[in-house]
Amino acid sequence: MVVKTAEIDNNKIRYLEEGSSENTLLLLHGLGASAERWEHVIPLFAKEYRVIVPDLVGFGHSDKPMVDYTMEYFSEFTSKFVESIGIKKLNIIGSSLGGQIAAEYAVNHNDKIRKLVLVSPSGVMKYATPALNSYISAALYPNNDAALTAFQTMSCQDDIDEKMVSEFVERMQLPNAKMAFMSTLLGLSNAKVITEKLNMITVPTMIVWGENDPVIPIEYAQSFVSGINDCRFYKMLGCGHTPYVENSEKFFQIVVDFLD
């Protein structure tokens, strides 16, 4: 896995890259996360794809400019990022916030996308769940205990990776990290629900949701499945908010079958 840098609007964007296929796969992480959130599945996908995984602007080790982190801003960022690394056509998997960004990007760029996978995307839920509140609290007051509790609440796993917890705490203490996090939350709460735009997505799409997701509960899947014309749905049993972390082999199998 190679760590690279792109420059978008004078902001340095860090991203990971692995694999040498002609087919490109872009992975977009969720709120407060980083490219490393995908580390269990990157090597699996890299056997068949050129996998590109950015730290979204405002998150991870990418720059965090003083801007309004709205959906429009993230969609525009994605467009510029894809252009900057010279991708003509790609597959996208977006999780949570990354799922909403991927859907927004698809609305405007169907011609660029082969297939789209949304993993428990945000964009419809308008009320914070207790699990989301626990995560927000851990982001704003970052310490290992709060972060561990938040990750345990969000997932169906008992054994949470300590490295993931400590890296989250470390990232949330970086300059402007909390500002970008809060601005994104405000951007999400002020955005119109994405439902009315979903019929503008014309590429084959798959929605994957953990059956026990406490952050964005699985009942929100229906809006996406019924809103997107060419859409499949897969419920991941025994998983919470991040099935690609909780059961990476199974997640890979389901998704790669769809992409192929």
The CATH classification number of 2-125+191-259 equals 3.40.50.1820
Assign 45 to helix, strand or coil.
helix
| Other CB atoms within 10 Å distance of the CB of residue 127 | 6
**So where are the chain's domains?**
2-125+191-259
Q: For residue 241, count other CB atoms closer than 10 A to its CB.
A: 28
> Residue 260 — pLDDT band, cuts 50, 70, 90?
very high
What is the Cα–Cα distance from 138 to 144, expressed in whole angstroms?
Answer: 9
What is the Cα–Cα distance from 205 to 228, expressed in whole angstroms?
Answer: 8
pLDDT of the residue at 63: 98
pTM beyond cutoff 0.85: yes
Would you state the pLDDT for residue 15?
A: 98
Q: Residue 207 in contact with residue 118, Cβ under 8 Å?
A: yes
pLDDT in tens, 165-213: 999 999 999 999 999 999 999 999 999 999 999 999 999 999 999 999 9
Q: Angle formed by the axes of helices 130-140 and 177-190, to 10°? A: 150
Q: What is the pLDDT of residues 147-164, one digit of tens each?
A: 999 999 998 777 888 999
- Report residue 14: phi and psi, to 5°: -85, 140
24-44 pLDDT, tens digit per residue, is 999 999 999 999 999 999 999
